């Protein structure tokens, strides 16, 4: 049973519960939602324009990011607190991990008409490969918990 993980600031939890789920960065901007940001602003901006190659009309920022391992590189960057591109300085203590079952999440997304994809490396990088078929998950080696590949997440079909 493979798990996927999303990290967020604890201050965002009440909004996530109230809204009944997570929103992509693009959707949050569109709705004018203010949240406690823990990511790097320049990467978040870039994700708003980077294409998801298996859905060329979509951008990475249109999806909610998940990871295949619970120890993301972002947590390490927050822990180190020495990256000049990171404006968040609150440390790891207020960061929470949301965990979901990968198969059940994909089943839910497909039943609800949401697109999903995963990347074979950092989805915020210019050169990365994307997959959007269950059979391709094996090729992505999603069972390796030490691998921090991205599950780009779900995006509504509009």
Query: How do residues 109-134 score in pLDDT, each as one tens digit?
Result: 999 999 999 988 888 888 888 989 88
Our count of domains for the chain comes to 1
pLDDT digits (tens, 9 = 90+) for 51-84: 998 998 999 999 999 988 888 888 899 999 999 9
For 1, 25, 45, 57, 59, the CA distances from 48, given in Å and listed in that order, are 31, 8, 5, 12, 6
Q: Rounded distance, CA 40 to CA 87, Å?
A: 7
Whether the predicted model's global pTM rises above the 0.85 cut: no
Q: What is the pLDDT of residue 138?
A: 59
Task: Give, rounded to a whole angstrom, the gap between the first and last alpha carbons of the chain.
Answer: 31
- How many Cα atoms occupy the beta-carbon half-sphere of 85 within 13 Å? 9
Segments forming the whole domain that contains residue 52: 3-156
């Amino acid at each position: 049973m493979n798990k996927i993980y999303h990290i967020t600031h604890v201050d965002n939890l009440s909004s996530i519960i109230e809204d009944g789920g997570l929103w992509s960065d693009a959707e949050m901007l569109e709705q004018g939602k203010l949240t406690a940001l823990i990511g790097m602003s320049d990467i978040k901006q870039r994700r708003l324009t980077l294409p998801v190659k298996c859905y060329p009309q979509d951008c990475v920022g249109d999806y909610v990011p998940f990871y295949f391992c619970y120890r993301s590189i972002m947590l390490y960057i927050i822990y180190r607190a020495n990256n000049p591109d990171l404006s968040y300085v609150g440390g790891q203590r207020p960061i929470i991990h949301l965990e979901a079952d990968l198969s059940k999440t994909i089943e839910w997304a497909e039943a609800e008409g949401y697109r999903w994809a995963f990347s074979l490396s950092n989805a915020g990088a210019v050169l990365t490969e994307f997959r959007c078929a269950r059979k391709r998950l094996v090729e992505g080696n999603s069972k390796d918990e030490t691998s921090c590949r991205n599950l780009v997440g779900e995006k509504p079909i509009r």
